[in-house]
Amino acid sequence: MSEKATPTGKSAKTPKASRVPPFRERSAGLIYEMHNKMASHGHSMKDLADIVGVSYPHMTALMAGDRWWAGTDRDVIEKLAKYLEVPVLQVYFWSGFLQPGDQHFDEDLQTRANEVFKRARSDPYTGPIMCSEASWNAAALDLKSMVTILLEVIHQETSLKLAETERGLSTRLGFAQFRREKGIGS
C-alpha cells in the first residue's frame, strides 16, 4: 500500500495494483497441465514436489508463476515430463521457454524428411506402418519434422538391436566352429 495525503492532512492508504506473478502467464500452459494431472492422480502440490525433486516452497513459487519452470534444472524438467507423460520438449513449450515460431525450417529439412520417409517405406520394420506417398507429400513440414525424428530414432534402435543380434549370432557360430575344430562336445 502507498500513502496519499487527504484534505484533512491525514494520510490514507491506497491499494497498490494487484501484482501478477512474472511467469504466471508465460507458464500458464504447463501449470494448467500440471493441475489436471495432479487432480487425476489425486496428488497434492507436496506430492508433486517430492516426485520432481524440489522443495515444497519452490514448488509453490513455480505453480504460482513467481519462478519460471524453464529456469529449473534439466533433471527436474525430465522428471516433470515423465510425470506428465510427455516429451521434455513439450514441457519447454508449455513453460513458455520455446514458442512455435522458434523452430526454423528450411529446404534442407524437407529434403531430409523425404529421404527418411523413403528409407522408412522400404524398411521391413517401418514400411508396413508408413502412410502413402501422397499423404506424406500433403503433410505439413512440422509434422514431417516430428515423424522424421521418430523414424530416425526407430531406425537407430533397430540398427543397434540388429547389430547386437548379429554380433551374438557370429559369436555363437564362432564358438560352435571352435568346438568342432577342437572336437569338444562331439
Supply the pLDDT for residue 47.
Answer: 93
Residue pLDDT, tens place only, 91-136: 888 887 877 666 555 557 788 888 889 888 888 778 888 899 999 9
State the amino acid at position 155 in one-letter form.
H
Q: Residue 1 carries which side chain, given as an amino acid letter?
A: M
* Domain regions of the chain by residue span: 28-101, 107-182
> Do 130 and 117 form a contact (C-beta atoms < 8 A)?
yes
- Return the C-alpha cell found at 105: 525450417
**Phi (first) and psi of residue 184, to 5 degrees:** -85, 130
pLDDT for 50: 94
pLDDT at 107: 54
CATH assignment, 28-101:
1.10.260.40
Give the separation between CA 123 and CA 150, rounded to whole angstroms.
14
Contacts of 53 (CB under 8 A, 6+ apart): 75, 76, 79
pTM of the entire structure?
Answer: 0.47
C-alpha cell at 184: 569338444
- Which residues of the chain are under the pLDDT cut of 70? 1-21, 100-107, 157-186
